[in-house]
Amino acid sequence: MAELIRFGFIPGLSIIHRLDPRVKLFLIAGVSICSLISGPIGLILAAILVAAVFPMAGMQITAIIRAIRFLLLLLFLIPFFRGLSTPGESLFCYQSICISREGVIAGAILSSRLLIIVVLGLVLTATTRTSQIRWAVEWFLRPIPFLPHQKIGTMIGLLVRFIPVVLNHAREISAAQICRGIENRKNPFYRTVSLCMPLFRKIIVTADRLAMAMEARCYGDLKTCRVCRISTKDLIVLGLVLLICLMMLIV
């Protein structure tokens, strides 16, 4: 159940927990978009903002690093491969293989942007209940005509709830295969298939049981949710974060 704790809602009384879910969703989307189009100095401002709000979510840094270690490995590899594929000033050369300085810098900026977006998503799921995220998505999509905002909100709510379940299944299957000596297999393709096939089967079975349970309980799109009101505190936080986003774009 460790994965459920890492990626699920963590109760708390911090400012981030008490913010309106619409404000949180809007701010996280805004900071993520600004991070994608801003320069290095703007990314530093975004990193400072993330470092300030991350402790309020109640998540342990070591647990998060251990949970997303494979993603971090991918982010560390991006500058290496960008350095190989981007021409420019050479930082390191071995025979005909050269790593360019411009490619490493571009890869590091791209990895920083992706890491900021991932951490912001973790902060949102840790400080906001799934029902509130669903309601906020429906509220933003409601003015768009001919769009089933209730169905989309339900799908997003189920997706957020389903991610920890999938991670928990993967952890259980991996632990069972380690007990059966899967690490003695040197072929990485065999080990990957041995993990993915039972995981996909378990995901499909779980999804089918969930659909049957929802149908048996006459679950529909029309579902009440606690209506939140935007307060003065929400407006102050909204203004401060929008100011930071403006500074990210200007610098």
Q: 125 burial class (0-12, 13-18, 19+ CB within 10 angstroms)?
A: buried
Phi and psi at residue 93, to the nearest 5°: -135, 140
pLDDT of residue 227: 60
pLDDT of residue 243: 92
Query: Are 22 and 230 a contacting pair, CB within 8 Å?
Result: yes
Average pLDDT for the chain: 81
86 vs 68: CA distance, rounded Å: 27
Q: Is the pLDDT of residue 81 over 70?
A: yes
The average pLDDT across 198-215 equals 86
Instruction: State the pLDDT confidence band at 225, using cuts at 50, 70 and 90.
Output: low
9-18, 85-94, 145-154: which has the minimum mean pLDDT?
Answer: 85-94
Positions of E strands within 101-158: none
The average pLDDT across 5-14 equals 71
Q: Is the pLDDT of residue 1 over 50?
A: no
pTM assigned to the model: 0.76
Q: Which two tokens stand for residue 129?
A: 């209940």
For residues 227 and 2, which has the higher predicted lDDT (pLDDT)? 227
- In the chain, the percentage of residues whose pLDDT exceeds 90 is 4
Mean pLDDT comparison of 41-45, 62-66, 169-173, highest-scoring range:
41-45
The average pLDDT across 17-31 equals 89
Return the axis-axis angle of helices 40-53 and 21-37, rounded to nearest 10°: 150
Instruction: State the pLDDT confidence band at 156, using cuts at 50, 70 and 90.
Output: confident
pLDDT of residue 2: 40
Q: Is the pLDDT of residue 58 over 70?
A: yes
Residue 19 DSSP symbol: S
Phi-psi region of 58 (alpha: psi -120 to 50; beta: other; left: phi over 0): left
Instruction: State the pLDDT confidence band at 166, using cuts at 50, 70 and 90.
Output: confident
Query: Are 134 and 157 a contacting pair, CB within 8 Å?
Result: yes
Instruction: State the pLDDT confidence band at 4, using cuts at 50, 70 and 90.
Output: very low
Query: 99 pairs with which residues across the strands?
Result: 92
Tokens 């029309």 -> residue? 222
Residues 6+ apart with CB under 8 A from 66: none
pLDDT of residue 223: 59
String of DSSP letters for 158-213: HHHHHHHHHHHHHHHHHHHHHHTTGGG---HHHHHHHHHHHHHHHHHHHHHHHHHH
Q: Is the pLDDT of residue 217 over 50?
A: yes
pLDDT of residue 39: 85
Query: Are 202 and 173 a contacting pair, CB within 8 Å?
Result: yes
Instruction: State the pLDDT confidence band at 5, using cuts at 50, 70 and 90.
Output: very low
The average pLDDT across 210-217 equals 84
